[in-house]
Amino acid sequence: MLPIHLQRRYKTTNYLNLAKRVSYVLGKRRNKQKEYFYHISKKRFIPAGNTLLAGIDPILPNCCVLPSVKEENLSEIIEKATNLWSKRVGIGFDLSKADKPLKILETLSKINADIKLDHRPQRGNMAVLNINHPDIKSFINIKSIKSVYNFNLSIVIEDKDFDYVTQDFKNRKVIKYAAKKSHKTGDPGIIFLDRIRKQVPYTLNTDSNDILRPIETVVPCGEQGMHPYETCTLGSINIANPDFWSGDRLVVSELISSINTSVDILDDVLESIDYDYLGDQDITKVSTYAKRLGLGIMGWADVLNRLGISYDKIDYIEGLIHYIGQIFKDTAHQRSREIAIRDGYNYTDRYDRKHLSITCLAPTGGITLLTGNKGFSIEPYFEEANKIGWKDHLKIQSLWQYWIDNAISKTINLDRQATVDDVYQCYRESYILGCKSVTIYRDSSHLNQPIRTSKECMECAI
Protein backbone atom coordinates (compact mmCIF):
# COMPACT_ATOMS: atom_id res chain seq x y z
CA MET A 1 0.00 0.00 0.00
CA LEU A 2 1.16 3.48 -0.80
CA PRO A 3 1.12 6.16 1.92
CA ILE A 4 -2.16 8.06 1.88
CA HIS A 5 -0.65 11.25 0.43
CA LEU A 6 0.79 9.26 -2.50
CA GLN A 7 -2.53 7.47 -3.00
CA ARG A 8 -4.18 10.85 -3.35
CA ARG A 9 -1.46 12.22 -5.61
CA TYR A 10 -1.41 9.30 -8.03
CA LYS A 11 -5.01 8.14 -7.54
CA THR A 12 -4.30 4.52 -6.69
CA THR A 13 -3.80 2.44 -3.56
CA ASN A 14 -0.69 0.46 -4.49
CA TYR A 15 2.35 0.82 -6.70
CA LEU A 16 1.79 -2.26 -8.88
CA ASN A 17 -1.61 -0.95 -9.95
CA LEU A 18 0.03 2.39 -10.73
CA ALA A 19 2.72 0.69 -12.82
CA LYS A 20 0.15 -1.43 -14.65
CA ARG A 21 -2.06 1.54 -15.52
CA VAL A 22 0.78 3.75 -16.74
CA SER A 23 2.50 0.95 -18.67
CA TYR A 24 -0.71 -0.01 -20.45
CA VAL A 25 -1.41 3.52 -21.65
CA LEU A 26 2.16 4.33 -22.71
CA GLY A 27 2.97 0.92 -24.17
CA LYS A 28 -0.05 0.44 -26.41
CA ARG A 29 1.32 2.72 -29.15
CA ARG A 30 3.97 0.13 -30.04
CA ASN A 31 2.68 -2.91 -28.19
CA LYS A 32 5.29 -2.61 -25.42
CA GLN A 33 3.02 -2.87 -22.39
CA LYS A 34 4.84 -5.90 -20.94
CA GLU A 35 8.30 -4.39 -21.44
CA TYR A 36 7.27 -1.08 -19.90
CA PHE A 37 5.52 -2.79 -16.99
CA TYR A 38 8.66 -4.81 -16.25
CA HIS A 39 10.89 -1.76 -15.89
CA ILE A 40 8.36 0.48 -14.14
CA SER A 41 6.98 -2.17 -11.78
CA LYS A 42 10.49 -3.19 -10.70
CA LYS A 43 11.22 0.53 -10.09
CA ARG A 44 14.13 0.52 -12.51
CA PHE A 45 12.62 3.58 -14.20
CA ILE A 46 9.78 5.85 -13.08
CA PRO A 47 8.22 8.62 -15.17
CA ALA A 48 7.61 11.93 -13.42
CA GLY A 49 4.61 13.85 -12.20
CA ASN A 50 1.82 14.24 -14.70
CA THR A 51 2.76 11.06 -16.59
CA LEU A 52 1.89 8.93 -13.56
CA LEU A 53 -1.74 9.98 -14.03
CA ALA A 54 -1.84 8.34 -17.48
CA GLY A 55 -5.09 6.42 -17.81
CA ILE A 56 -6.92 8.80 -15.46
CA ASP A 57 -6.07 12.27 -16.74
CA PRO A 58 -4.87 13.40 -20.19
CA ILE A 59 -1.12 13.00 -20.62
CA LEU A 60 0.52 16.39 -20.14
CA PRO A 61 4.09 17.70 -19.96
CA ASN A 62 5.76 18.47 -16.64
CA CYS A 63 6.93 21.99 -17.44
CA CYS A 64 6.87 24.67 -20.12
CA VAL A 65 8.77 27.84 -21.01
CA LEU A 66 6.93 30.89 -22.29
CA PRO A 67 8.36 33.80 -24.34
CA SER A 68 10.16 36.64 -22.57
CA VAL A 69 7.60 38.70 -20.67
CA LYS A 70 7.28 42.41 -21.23
CA GLU A 71 4.55 44.95 -20.75
CA GLU A 72 3.41 44.63 -24.36
CA ASN A 73 2.65 40.90 -24.20
CA LEU A 74 1.74 40.57 -20.51
CA SER A 75 -1.98 39.95 -21.07
CA GLU A 76 -1.23 37.17 -23.54
CA ILE A 77 1.35 35.60 -21.20
CA ILE A 78 -1.13 35.72 -18.30
CA GLU A 79 -3.76 33.96 -20.40
CA LYS A 80 -1.33 31.21 -21.43
CA ALA A 81 0.13 30.85 -17.93
CA THR A 82 -3.29 30.60 -16.28
CA ASN A 83 -4.23 27.81 -18.69
CA LEU A 84 -1.01 25.91 -17.95
CA TRP A 85 -1.23 26.43 -14.19
CA SER A 86 -4.79 25.09 -14.16
CA LYS A 87 -3.35 21.87 -15.63
CA ARG A 88 -0.44 21.71 -13.15
CA VAL A 89 2.27 22.56 -15.65
CA GLY A 90 5.18 24.53 -14.15
CA ILE A 91 6.50 27.49 -16.14
CA GLY A 92 9.80 29.23 -16.74
CA PHE A 93 9.65 33.02 -17.29
CA ASP A 94 12.28 35.49 -18.49
CA LEU A 95 11.68 39.06 -17.29
CA SER A 96 14.82 40.60 -18.80
CA LYS A 97 13.00 42.49 -21.56
CA ALA A 98 10.46 44.10 -19.21
CA ASP A 99 10.74 47.72 -18.07
CA LYS A 100 9.24 46.87 -14.67
CA PRO A 101 10.05 43.21 -14.05
CA LEU A 102 9.18 43.26 -10.34
CA LYS A 103 5.68 44.50 -10.98
CA ILE A 104 5.19 41.73 -13.54
CA LEU A 105 6.57 39.14 -11.11
CA GLU A 106 4.19 40.25 -8.38
CA THR A 107 1.28 40.11 -10.83
CA LEU A 108 2.13 36.59 -11.96
CA SER A 109 2.67 35.44 -8.38
CA LYS A 110 -0.72 36.74 -7.26
CA ILE A 111 -2.54 35.11 -10.17
CA ASN A 112 -0.77 31.83 -9.48
CA ALA A 113 -1.69 31.99 -5.78
CA ASP A 114 -5.36 32.57 -6.62
CA ILE A 115 -5.67 29.36 -8.66
CA LYS A 116 -7.32 26.76 -6.42
CA LEU A 117 -6.83 23.10 -7.24
CA ASP A 118 -7.54 19.86 -5.37
CA HIS A 119 -5.14 18.07 -3.02
CA ARG A 120 -2.41 17.77 -5.67
CA PRO A 121 -0.17 20.85 -5.41
CA GLN A 122 0.62 23.14 -8.30
CA ARG A 123 4.03 22.89 -9.85
CA GLY A 124 6.50 25.64 -9.12
CA ASN A 125 7.76 28.37 -11.44
CA MET A 126 11.02 30.08 -12.31
CA ALA A 127 11.61 33.78 -12.96
CA VAL A 128 14.99 34.95 -14.29
CA LEU A 129 16.47 38.40 -14.87
CA ASN A 130 19.67 39.31 -16.71
CA ILE A 131 22.46 40.60 -14.48
CA ASN A 132 22.68 43.80 -16.55
CA HIS A 133 19.03 44.80 -16.09
CA PRO A 134 18.64 48.15 -14.24
CA ASP A 135 16.36 46.51 -11.63
CA ILE A 136 18.60 43.54 -10.90
CA LYS A 137 19.31 44.49 -7.27
CA SER A 138 15.61 44.98 -6.52
CA PHE A 139 14.93 41.60 -8.13
CA ILE A 140 17.59 39.97 -5.97
CA ASN A 141 16.14 41.56 -2.85
CA ILE A 142 12.43 40.94 -3.47
CA LYS A 143 12.12 37.81 -1.33
CA SER A 144 13.61 39.67 1.61
CA ILE A 145 10.71 42.13 1.65
CA LYS A 146 7.78 40.39 -0.06
CA SER A 147 6.22 36.98 -0.41
CA VAL A 148 6.60 35.72 -3.98
CA TYR A 149 4.32 32.71 -4.12
CA ASN A 150 5.54 29.56 -5.88
CA PHE A 151 8.50 31.15 -7.72
CA ASN A 152 12.19 30.35 -7.72
CA LEU A 153 14.45 33.23 -8.78
CA SER A 154 17.69 33.18 -10.75
CA ILE A 155 20.12 35.66 -12.27
CA VAL A 156 21.06 35.13 -15.92
CA ILE A 157 24.78 35.45 -16.61
CA GLU A 158 26.36 35.16 -20.06
CA ASP A 159 29.96 34.36 -20.94
CA LYS A 160 30.72 38.05 -21.51
CA ASP A 161 29.93 38.68 -17.83
CA PHE A 162 32.91 36.62 -16.66
CA ASP A 163 36.51 37.87 -16.79
CA TYR A 164 38.70 34.99 -17.89
CA VAL A 165 41.89 36.87 -16.94
CA THR A 166 40.98 37.45 -13.30
CA GLN A 167 38.80 34.31 -13.14
CA ASP A 168 36.03 36.37 -11.57
CA PHE A 169 32.71 37.98 -12.42
CA LYS A 170 32.92 41.40 -14.07
CA ASN A 171 29.98 42.75 -12.08
CA ARG A 172 31.25 41.66 -8.68
CA LYS A 173 29.05 44.08 -6.76
CA VAL A 174 25.86 42.53 -8.09
CA ILE A 175 27.06 38.97 -7.54
CA LYS A 176 28.22 39.78 -4.01
CA TYR A 177 24.84 41.34 -3.32
CA ALA A 178 23.20 38.19 -4.67
CA ALA A 179 25.45 36.12 -2.40
CA LYS A 180 24.36 38.17 0.60
CA LYS A 181 20.67 37.63 -0.14
CA SER A 182 21.08 33.97 -1.04
CA HIS A 183 22.96 33.49 2.23
CA LYS A 184 19.84 34.82 3.94
CA THR A 185 17.00 33.34 1.87
CA GLY A 186 18.34 30.73 -0.58
CA ASP A 187 17.47 32.94 -3.58
CA PRO A 188 18.59 33.78 -6.17
CA GLY A 189 20.36 31.03 -8.03
CA ILE A 190 22.47 31.67 -11.12
CA ILE A 191 21.90 30.45 -14.68
CA PHE A 192 24.85 30.41 -17.09
CA LEU A 193 22.79 31.01 -20.18
CA ASP A 194 25.37 30.59 -22.95
CA ARG A 195 26.27 27.12 -21.69
CA ILE A 196 22.63 26.12 -21.67
CA ARG A 197 22.16 27.44 -25.20
CA LYS A 198 25.09 25.32 -26.40
CA GLN A 199 23.35 22.13 -25.28
CA VAL A 200 21.48 21.86 -28.59
CA PRO A 201 22.61 21.80 -32.23
CA TYR A 202 23.67 25.21 -33.47
CA THR A 203 21.44 25.02 -36.54
CA LEU A 204 18.38 24.50 -34.33
CA ASN A 205 19.19 27.30 -31.91
CA THR A 206 19.52 30.44 -34.04
CA ASP A 207 17.32 33.21 -35.32
CA SER A 208 17.43 31.62 -38.77
CA ASN A 209 15.19 28.84 -37.50
CA ASP A 210 11.55 29.74 -38.09
CA ILE A 211 10.25 27.63 -35.20
CA LEU A 212 12.77 27.80 -32.35
CA ARG A 213 13.57 31.18 -30.83
CA PRO A 214 16.69 31.54 -28.63
CA ILE A 215 16.66 30.06 -25.14
CA GLU A 216 16.17 32.76 -22.48
CA THR A 217 15.16 30.86 -19.33
CA VAL A 218 14.83 27.48 -17.64
CA VAL A 219 12.12 25.33 -16.10
CA PRO A 220 11.16 25.79 -12.40
CA CYS A 221 13.96 23.68 -10.91
CA GLY A 222 16.55 24.68 -13.49
CA GLU A 223 17.29 21.28 -15.05
CA GLN A 224 16.08 22.21 -18.54
CA GLY A 225 16.76 25.33 -20.56
CA MET A 226 14.17 25.47 -23.32
CA HIS A 227 13.06 27.57 -26.25
CA PRO A 228 9.86 29.62 -25.91
CA TYR A 229 6.79 27.33 -26.01
CA GLU A 230 8.83 24.16 -25.48
CA THR A 231 7.68 21.59 -22.95
CA CYS A 232 9.62 18.86 -21.15
CA THR A 233 8.86 15.24 -20.41
CA LEU A 234 10.73 13.84 -17.40
CA GLY A 235 11.55 10.49 -15.87
CA SER A 236 14.47 8.94 -13.97
CA ILE A 237 16.38 5.70 -13.77
CA ASN A 238 16.85 4.39 -10.25
CA ILE A 239 20.55 3.53 -10.40
CA ALA A 240 20.39 2.17 -6.85
CA ASN A 241 18.04 -0.61 -7.99
CA PRO A 242 19.44 -4.03 -6.95
CA ASP A 243 18.97 -5.28 -10.53
CA PHE A 244 21.89 -3.08 -11.58
CA TRP A 245 24.33 -4.43 -9.00
CA SER A 246 26.01 -7.71 -8.23
CA GLY A 247 27.74 -7.04 -4.95
CA ASP A 248 29.82 -3.94 -5.63
CA ARG A 249 29.92 -4.53 -9.40
CA LEU A 250 27.68 -2.67 -11.84
CA VAL A 251 25.70 -5.02 -14.10
CA VAL A 252 26.16 -2.95 -17.24
CA SER A 253 23.85 -5.01 -19.44
CA GLU A 254 20.92 -4.46 -17.07
CA LEU A 255 21.56 -0.72 -16.86
CA ILE A 256 21.79 -0.43 -20.65
CA SER A 257 18.54 -2.35 -21.00
CA SER A 258 16.74 0.08 -18.71
CA ILE A 259 18.25 3.15 -20.39
CA ASN A 260 17.03 1.95 -23.77
CA THR A 261 13.54 1.23 -22.47
CA SER A 262 13.44 4.52 -20.58
CA VAL A 263 14.15 6.50 -23.75
CA ASP A 264 11.41 4.50 -25.49
CA ILE A 265 8.97 5.27 -22.69
CA LEU A 266 9.71 8.99 -22.67
CA ASP A 267 9.45 9.09 -26.47
CA ASP A 268 6.01 7.49 -26.20
CA VAL A 269 5.06 9.98 -23.47
CA LEU A 270 6.12 12.78 -25.81
CA GLU A 271 4.06 11.38 -28.68
CA SER A 272 1.04 10.79 -26.39
CA ILE A 273 0.74 14.30 -24.92
CA ASP A 274 -2.80 15.56 -25.35
CA TYR A 275 -2.05 18.88 -27.02
CA ASP A 276 -5.73 19.44 -27.80
CA TYR A 277 -6.50 19.33 -24.07
CA LEU A 278 -3.51 21.54 -23.37
CA GLY A 279 -5.10 23.99 -25.77
CA ASP A 280 -2.17 26.08 -27.04
CA GLN A 281 -1.23 25.99 -30.73
CA ASP A 282 2.15 27.67 -30.11
CA ILE A 283 3.15 24.97 -27.63
CA THR A 284 1.96 22.25 -30.00
CA LYS A 285 4.03 23.62 -32.89
CA VAL A 286 7.29 24.08 -31.00
CA SER A 287 7.13 21.03 -28.74
CA THR A 288 6.27 18.59 -31.51
CA TYR A 289 9.17 19.97 -33.56
CA ALA A 290 11.83 19.97 -30.84
CA LYS A 291 10.85 16.65 -29.20
CA ARG A 292 12.91 17.25 -26.06
CA LEU A 293 13.27 14.48 -23.46
CA GLY A 294 14.42 14.75 -19.86
CA LEU A 295 15.86 11.40 -18.79
CA GLY A 296 17.62 11.54 -15.43
CA ILE A 297 18.86 9.37 -12.61
CA MET A 298 18.07 9.05 -8.92
CA GLY A 299 19.50 7.14 -5.99
CA TRP A 300 23.14 8.21 -6.32
CA ALA A 301 23.60 8.52 -2.55
CA ASP A 302 22.09 5.05 -2.11
CA VAL A 303 24.64 3.65 -4.58
CA LEU A 304 27.48 5.17 -2.60
CA ASN A 305 26.02 3.81 0.63
CA ARG A 306 25.83 0.36 -0.95
CA LEU A 307 29.49 0.60 -1.92
CA GLY A 308 30.52 1.97 1.49
CA ILE A 309 31.85 5.23 0.03
CA SER A 310 31.24 8.65 1.58
CA TYR A 311 29.61 11.22 -0.68
CA ASP A 312 32.53 13.61 -0.31
CA LYS A 313 35.30 11.12 -1.15
CA ILE A 314 35.82 12.66 -4.57
CA ASP A 315 38.97 10.68 -5.40
CA TYR A 316 37.05 7.43 -4.93
CA ILE A 317 33.91 8.33 -6.85
CA GLU A 318 35.15 10.51 -9.71
CA GLY A 319 35.93 7.47 -11.84
CA LEU A 320 32.59 5.88 -10.97
CA ILE A 321 30.70 9.00 -12.08
CA HIS A 322 32.55 9.05 -15.40
CA TYR A 323 31.98 5.32 -15.86
CA ILE A 324 28.23 5.44 -15.22
CA GLY A 325 27.85 8.85 -16.86
CA GLN A 326 29.37 7.73 -20.14
CA ILE A 327 27.20 4.62 -20.26
CA PHE A 328 24.17 6.78 -19.50
CA LYS A 329 24.88 9.39 -22.17
CA ASP A 330 26.13 7.10 -24.94
CA THR A 331 23.31 4.61 -24.55
CA ALA A 332 20.58 7.25 -24.41
CA HIS A 333 21.92 9.08 -27.47
CA GLN A 334 22.32 5.88 -29.43
CA ARG A 335 18.74 4.88 -28.64
CA SER A 336 17.52 8.27 -29.86
CA ARG A 337 19.40 7.69 -33.13
CA GLU A 338 17.76 4.29 -33.50
CA ILE A 339 14.32 5.80 -32.87
CA ALA A 340 15.07 8.48 -35.49
CA ILE A 341 15.78 5.76 -38.05
CA ARG A 342 12.68 3.83 -37.03
CA ASP A 343 10.48 6.91 -37.29
CA GLY A 344 12.00 8.16 -40.54
CA TYR A 345 13.73 11.34 -39.35
CA ASN A 346 16.38 12.97 -41.53
CA TYR A 347 19.68 13.09 -39.66
CA THR A 348 20.61 16.39 -41.32
CA ASP A 349 17.50 17.98 -39.85
CA ARG A 350 17.59 16.23 -36.48
CA TYR A 351 21.28 16.38 -35.57
CA ASP A 352 21.86 12.65 -35.75
CA ARG A 353 18.96 11.79 -33.44
CA LYS A 354 15.23 12.25 -33.00
CA HIS A 355 15.24 14.33 -29.82
CA LEU A 356 16.64 17.83 -29.45
CA SER A 357 18.16 16.82 -26.10
CA ILE A 358 17.78 13.68 -24.06
CA THR A 359 19.23 13.89 -20.55
CA CYS A 360 18.90 16.20 -17.55
CA LEU A 361 18.91 15.67 -13.80
CA ALA A 362 15.59 16.75 -12.29
CA PRO A 363 15.06 16.82 -8.50
CA THR A 364 12.96 13.55 -8.33
CA GLY A 365 11.27 14.63 -5.11
CA GLY A 366 7.94 12.90 -5.68
CA ILE A 367 9.04 9.77 -7.52
CA THR A 368 11.88 9.01 -5.10
CA LEU A 369 9.19 8.44 -2.47
CA LEU A 370 7.94 5.56 -4.64
CA THR A 371 11.34 3.81 -4.74
CA GLY A 372 12.20 3.69 -1.05
CA ASN A 373 15.52 5.44 -1.72
CA LYS A 374 16.87 7.93 0.78
CA GLY A 375 18.70 9.99 -1.84
CA PHE A 376 16.95 12.26 -4.35
CA SER A 377 18.55 12.55 -7.80
CA ILE A 378 22.30 12.99 -7.14
CA GLU A 379 21.79 14.61 -3.72
CA PRO A 380 23.37 13.16 -0.56
CA TYR A 381 21.22 11.87 2.28
CA PHE A 382 19.52 14.65 4.21
CA GLU A 383 21.48 13.97 7.37
CA GLU A 384 24.75 14.22 5.43
CA ALA A 385 24.02 17.29 3.32
CA ASN A 386 25.31 19.95 5.71
CA LYS A 387 28.32 17.90 6.80
CA ILE A 388 29.69 17.92 3.25
CA GLY A 389 31.71 20.95 2.22
CA TRP A 390 30.27 23.12 -0.52
CA LYS A 391 33.31 22.49 -2.71
CA ASP A 392 32.58 18.76 -2.69
CA HIS A 393 28.90 19.37 -3.45
CA LEU A 394 29.94 21.51 -6.39
CA LYS A 395 32.55 19.06 -7.63
CA ILE A 396 29.98 16.25 -7.72
CA GLN A 397 27.61 18.45 -9.71
CA SER A 398 30.32 19.41 -12.19
CA LEU A 399 31.41 15.79 -12.69
CA TRP A 400 27.88 14.71 -13.53
CA GLN A 401 27.34 17.80 -15.68
CA TYR A 402 30.03 16.61 -18.09
CA TRP A 403 27.75 13.76 -19.19
CA ILE A 404 24.39 15.56 -19.11
CA ASP A 405 22.86 17.33 -22.14
CA ASN A 406 20.85 19.84 -20.16
CA ALA A 407 21.45 21.11 -16.64
CA ILE A 408 21.26 19.65 -13.14
CA SER A 409 18.83 20.48 -10.38
CA LYS A 410 20.98 20.24 -7.27
CA THR A 411 21.30 22.23 -4.08
CA ILE A 412 24.77 23.19 -2.87
CA ASN A 413 24.28 22.90 0.88
CA LEU A 414 26.24 25.09 3.28
CA ASP A 415 26.26 24.76 7.05
CA ARG A 416 24.85 27.54 9.20
CA GLN A 417 28.31 29.00 9.93
CA ALA A 418 29.01 29.59 6.22
CA THR A 419 29.77 33.19 5.30
CA VAL A 420 28.53 35.42 2.51
CA ASP A 421 31.97 35.10 0.93
CA ASP A 422 31.55 31.31 0.92
CA VAL A 423 28.41 31.78 -1.16
CA TYR A 424 30.21 34.19 -3.49
CA GLN A 425 33.10 31.78 -3.97
CA CYS A 426 30.62 28.98 -4.63
CA TYR A 427 29.06 31.06 -7.43
CA ARG A 428 32.51 31.75 -8.87
CA GLU A 429 33.73 28.16 -8.66
CA SER A 430 30.55 26.85 -10.26
CA TYR A 431 31.37 28.82 -13.40
CA ILE A 432 35.04 27.79 -13.40
CA LEU A 433 34.09 24.11 -12.99
CA GLY A 434 31.75 24.17 -15.99
CA CYS A 435 28.35 24.02 -14.30
CA LYS A 436 25.32 25.35 -16.17
CA SER A 437 23.60 26.67 -13.07
CA VAL A 438 24.04 26.86 -9.31
CA THR A 439 21.67 27.01 -6.35
CA ILE A 440 22.76 27.22 -2.71
CA TYR A 441 21.02 26.77 0.60
CA ARG A 442 22.54 27.63 3.98
CA ASP A 443 21.27 25.56 6.89
CA SER A 444 18.77 27.41 9.10
CA SER A 445 18.51 30.42 6.80
CA HIS A 446 14.77 29.73 6.84
CA LEU A 447 13.08 29.50 10.22
CA ASN A 448 10.47 27.12 8.78
CA GLN A 449 12.76 24.89 6.76
CA PRO A 450 11.19 21.41 6.55
CA ILE A 451 14.37 19.47 7.32
CA ARG A 452 16.68 20.18 10.24
CA THR A 453 19.85 18.48 11.39
CA SER A 454 20.83 18.59 15.06
CA LYS A 455 24.57 18.97 15.51
CA GLU A 456 24.34 17.18 18.85
CA CYS A 457 22.76 13.96 17.61
CA MET A 458 23.25 14.37 13.83
CA GLU A 459 19.81 12.96 13.17
CA CYS A 460 17.57 14.17 10.38
CA ALA A 461 14.23 15.51 11.59
CA ILE A 462 11.39 16.18 9.18
* HEC per residue, 74-89: HHHHHHHHHHHHHCCC
Does residue 457 surpass a pLDDT of 90? Answer: no
Whether the Cβ atoms of residue 176 and residue 138 lie closer than 8 Å to each other: no
The structure's pTM equals 0.93
**What is the Cα gyration radius of the chain?**
21
Digit-coded pLDDT (tens) for 310-346: 999 999 999 999 999 999 999 999 999 999 989 987 6
pLDDT class of 10 with cuts at 50, 70, 90: confident
* Beta strand extents in 144-283 (DSSP E only): 151-157, 162-163, 168-169, 189-192, 217-218, 225-226, 231-238, 245-246, 249-250
Cis, peptide link before residue 188, omega less than 30° from 0: yes
Domains, in order of start, for the chain: 16-59+230-461 (3.20.70.20), 74-226 (no CATH)
Does residue 462 surpass a pLDDT of 60? Answer: no
The set of residues, in sequence order, having a beta carbon less than 8 Å from that of 348 and lying 6+ positions away, is none
Q: What is the DSSP letter of 56?
A: T
Give the helix/strand (H/E) hosting 182.
helix 172-185
Digit-coded pLDDT (tens) for 152-180: 999 999 999 999 999 999 999 999 999 99
Cα separation of the two ends of the chain: 22
Of 452, 430, 369, nearest to 3 (Cα)? Answer: 369
Least confident of 79-88, 146-155, 337-346, 372-381: 337-346
